Structure 1
Amino acid sequence: MTSFESRFEAALCLAAQAHRGQSRKGTANASGLALPYITHPVAVATLVQRHGGDAEQIIAALLHDVLEDGGAHWAEPIAAGFGPEVLALVRFCTDGVPDASGHKAPWRVRKEAYLAHLARAMGPGLLVSACDKLANLQAIHLDRLECGAVVWSRFSAGRAGTLWYYGALVETFAGRLPAALEQALRREWAAVETLADEEGP
């Protein structure tokens, strides 16, 4: 087993531990089985690899939601197991960390702050963040096709807030990503926006 494979497996185990008991919204099938949340970081890591990410970016993709969903105490095992560069990338992708009581700042406040962060950011975190947003858009697109407009009820910001955020993200990333990744983001966003427009105001 290569060093990268060993680190990948270790990161996958840590992420699975941090996300234990969490599932992806709206993924329950006819048998009532929902996808464990860990499937999302794996999807993001796959996109990062596909779009030219290096080992640190791929490992960070597996861990990108650990602080946001698990809390600040996960920073120490991330740094100890994978180094400061991976921790910095995970922090780059984090738009809010729950406090001791599990609360975060309001959704809109966090998203506006994250957009401002992205607008002035440079470096390898942009690729990881963009792949995270692409994975989310792909899921929204598929869910909207399968479930209809009810999909918007899964989001705390509803239809209007979700569309605002992803439209703003696509524009913020513009011109700062590998061409294929930017095209994929724009393609998924256009598909989601078209479906939303068909619903009317």
Structure 2
Amino acid sequence: MNLNSINKPKLTTRFEEALVYATQLHAEQVRRIRGVPYISHLLSVTALVLEDGGSEDEAIAALLHDAIEDRGGRRTGEIIRQKFGDKVADIVEACTESDVVPQPPWKERKQKYLENISQGSAEVLRVALADKVHNARSNLTEWDLYGDKAWNKEQRQRTLWFYRSVITVAQTLTDSRLVEELRRIVKQLEAFE
């Protein structure tokens, strides 16, 4: 493999601006169990996107993929569109389960998400898969640390159904290595069922 031929996106000041914006948006937010600053998730998803050959737009969308859902709904989506353009906003919107408060029931949100990604572009799938890979890795770590206190049987079953559904949708639409990575982590999580 010629390393010079690998897609090497250039990150510009747009990426820096998105990083600052994401950090500000999620400043008070922490990950569910361990209380790790939420930006760690966004940075991990962004790293996975870039390592999978994603563009700067995809990296920016990865930084902002939870912004509409968690930090302001449609208004935040409008700001993202103004600041970072249509492509980024379209990816973020496709990766958003809900833009209203209160959010619809869990299963309804997940079904909408699956529909969104099944109709999404390769860029949408890359960001969605990177998000699910990082979430699944976090689930695995939390299970190792806390067992049932982190992830009870009902949560495991629902979450595994969702991850399996994402794999089913994505494997027919992309050849990203992230599909196989998610499949591998799900197999590890299934061992706890």
* Distance in 2 of aligned mates of 1:22 and 1:97: 17
Match of 2:175 in 1: 178
Q: Do structure 1's residue 23 and structure 2's residue 30 form an aligned pair?
A: yes
C-alpha change, 1:75 and 1:108, in structure 2 (3 Å) is: same
Unaligned runs of at least 5 residues, structure 2: 1-9
TM-score by length of 1: 0.84
Q: Do structure 1's residue 143 and structure 2's residue 176 form an aligned pair?
A: no
Paired residues of 2:95 and 2:116 also in contact (CA < 8 A): no
Return structure 1 stretches of 4+ with deviation > 6 angstroms.
none
Backbone CA RMSD of aligned residues:
1.8
Match of 1:50 in 2: 51
Tell me how far 1:160 sits from its aligned partner.
2.2
Deviations 1:71-122 (A, max 9, x none): 2111232122211111111001111112xxx311111111112212323333
TM-score by length of 2: 0.87
Match of 1:31 in 2: none
Comparing 74-83 and 136-145, the one that deviates more: 74-83
Q: Which amino acid aligns with 1:141?
A: L
Unaligned runs of at least 5 residues, structure 1: 28-33
Aligned length: 183
* Distance in 2 of aligned mates of 1:150 and 1:120: 36
Comparing 129-138 and 111-120, the one that deviates more: 111-120
Paired residues of 2:66 and 2:96 also in contact (CA < 8 A): yes
Paired residues of 2:81 and 2:88 also in contact (CA < 8 A): yes
Q: Do structure 1's residue 161 and structure 2's residue 163 form an aligned pair?
A: no
The percent of aligned pairs where both chains have the same amino acid is 33
Paired residues of 2:136 and 2:186 also in contact (CA < 8 A): yes
Paired residues of 2:52 and 2:176 also in contact (CA < 8 A): no
